[in-house]
A and B are shown apart, each in its own frame.
Chain A
Amino acid sequence: MSILRIEGLKKAFNEKTVIENLELEVGSHEIYGFIGSNGAGKTTTMKMVLGLLAADEGDIYVCDEKVRFGDTLTNRHVGYLPDVPEFYTYMNAVEYLKLCADITGVEKSAQKERIDELLELVGLKGEKTKIKNYSRGMKQRLGIAQALIHRPKLLICDEPTSALDPKGRMEILKILKEITKETTVIFSTHILTDVERICDRVGILYDGAIVKAFDLNQESFGEKGIAVELDAGAYETLKPLLDIRRMVGTTYIIADHSMKEIYDTLHAHKIYPSKIVKEQKSLEDVYLEVTS
């Protein structure tokens, strides 16, 4: 069963089309990375899934129920972590989660256990200070706890790591990876290393549609070329002979040649590399190819 299905979604703001015929399907217990540049329409798409914005055209289904703009019943299946989650800062974490539990209809008798469990998960157990004194990372972790309070089938995270330091990012990614036992995660970001680290599948949003999608568990992005580390002077010699695409310091990325051709050329000109290795394309390489 698909947890989220988007069919022919369109959205424009003041005649500027942001989303154009977006199609997407996400299955259960996977982490789907939704990547795109700033302003690509990631947040707009997520807000339409949450019923916070009206779609101009197309349909969205969460757990096979249609999302309706405004009071959408599908939100009982969904948890949402905004990029900058805002709380009632005069409360502490337990008070806030208690409010969320009441709103989502978690049984009174089960609330304490669930709140303890979540605070343990996000590392805020025993934290009694008011939320106004929390760091950005603590707020983000509390954001995950509030989003999971009602055991949603789908957790939507809008750039959850973009404002955090490396340690905070690692903590959030670790939590997101852990919770896929219970829930499906959709995770929008423009930090591609985060996506590579935890996502099962990824879709690149560009010009209002998903222009490329990958299964990160199965597919590689293909070969980028062969990286050869040489003395600085070798470049001028090799330039007319080989298709040199990129240089990083004294490392040259050579594409469209076999390893044998490169070896033969180097040998013929008595050039001896200190390192030679086949380079795989990274998600960043593919992203730049697709969006440039």
Chain B
Amino acid sequence: MIQMSALFRKEVVESWRNFRLMAILIVFIIIGVLSPFTALILPDILGMVMKDSGIMAEIPDSAALDSYTQFFTNMNQMGLVIFVIVFGSILTHEFSRNTLVNLVTKGLKRTNVIVVKSVFLIFVWTMGYVVSALVTYIYTLYYWDEAVDHLILSFTMTWMYGLFIISLVMFASTLFTNSFIAVLLSVVAIVIMMMMASIHPDVAEYLPQYLIGNNVGLLAGEVEPRDVLWPSVITGGVTLVLFLLAVLRFRKAPMN
């Protein structure tokens, strides 16, 4: 436990002094602020563009649902990608710079390395995501003051998908010491899942991708909460298995 808390403190100090923690917080806050703001001004922008183009059409006023649509689009496409770019090398850069050797040869348990780094990533992702979601929620209430059903479940779906991505990156990092290859492998895994979904659409309902593809559908009432059960269970299961595989692989990984 002492090893784990020391290592966790080291991760916090490292990401603070390297400005990574600050960077991800700023990006997530920007997403939180921009999403409702974009939804708010989008009808005006569209109206101006259409007027300039001579198109006459009535643009409906934006609603709370548009704000959350913007939020999930930004978070699922941009937020997660930036998170992986900023923190995806958390293990591999220790390999490439050999910084773990000093600690492992002092009796630092390799399992603790994976557990602490995973917990730290989950902590940063959760903190950043909650702040971002709260900012969007507060601004959405402020601008529209409308109740939206299944909001917490909808937020939870992207959060769960983030955990899945973290486990994928951690596992890939134990296979490849090069951070670029590790991230690339994670992307390839996601692309394969998407291809599987397109080849056999029935499979798509059980894949992690379902969680980030249906947040808005759930809020709009197009998807029922029970539809989310199986992809959530499968995503949670796959996430746990990937974390476990990362631990098992790292325990027997040669270190140079």
Contact = CB atoms under 8 A, between A and B. Distances in A.
Contact of A88 (B3, B14, B108): B14
Nearest to B98: A86
A150 B7 CA distance: 17
A101 B246 CA distance: 26
Contacts of B17: 90
Contact of A78 (B2, B10, B13, B105): B105
Contacts of A95: 13
B156 interface: no
A71 B110 contact: yes
Interface stretch (A45-53, A205-213, A214-222, A264-272): A45-53
Contact of B106 (A54, A71, A75): A75
Contact of A87 (B2, B13, B99): B99
Contact of A70 (B98, B251, B256): B251
Contacts of B106: 75-76, 79-80, 100, 103-104, 149-150
A104 B3 CA distance: 8
A105 interface: yes
The bracket for how many chain A residues form the interface is: 20 to 34
Contacts of A149: 106
Contacts of B200: none
A73 B254 contact: no
Contacts of A53: 254-255
A203 B213 CA distance: 65
A75 B105 CA distance: 6
Interface in B2-27: 2-3, 5-7, 10, 13-14, 17-18
B109 A71 contact: yes
A146 interface: yes
B20 to A, nearest CB: 11
Contact of B101 (A78, A80, A100, A103): A80
A102 interface: yes
A71 B111 contact: yes
Contacts of B5: 102
A54 to B, nearest CB: 7
A99 interface: yes
Nearest to B102: A146
A102 B101 contact: no
A196 B256 CA distance: 29
A86 B105 contact: no
A69 interface: yes
Contacts of A147: 102
Nearest to B18: A90
B14 A90 contact: yes
A90 B18 CA distance: 8
Contact of A102 (B2, B14, B111): B2
A260 to B, nearest CB: 57
A56 to B, nearest CB: 13
A75 B103 CA distance: 10
Given A99-B10, A102-B3, A80 B107 contact: no
B116 to A, nearest CB: 11
Nearest to A75: B107
A123 interface: no
Contacts of A80: 101-102, 105-106
Nearest to A54: B254
A63 interface: no
Nearest to A50: B105
B172 to A, nearest CB: 20
Contacts of A99: 6, 10, 103
Contacts of A104: 106-107
Nearest to A74: B107
Contacts of A146: 102
A69 B105 CA distance: 11
B97 interface: yes
Interface of A: 47, 50, 52-54, 69-71, 73, 75-76, 78-80, 82, 84-88, 90-91, 95, 99-100, 102-105, 143, 146-147, 149-150
23 contacts: A47-B256, A52-B101, A69-B252, A70-B110, A73-B107, A75-B104, A78-B105, A80-B102, A80-B105, A82-B101, A84-B98, A86-B97, A86-B99, A86-B102, A90-B14, A99-B10, A100-B103, A100-B106, A102-B3, A102-B6, A103-B6, A105-B107, A150-B107
Interface of B: 2-3, 5-7, 10, 13-14, 17-18, 97-99, 101-111, 251-252, 254-256
Given A87-B102, A100-B106, 7 more contacts: A71-B109, A71-B110, A80-B105, A80-B106, A86-B99, A99-B103, A103-B3
Ordered nearest first, which 4 A-B pairs have the shortest CB separation?
Answer: A102-B6, A80-B105, A90-B17, A52-B255
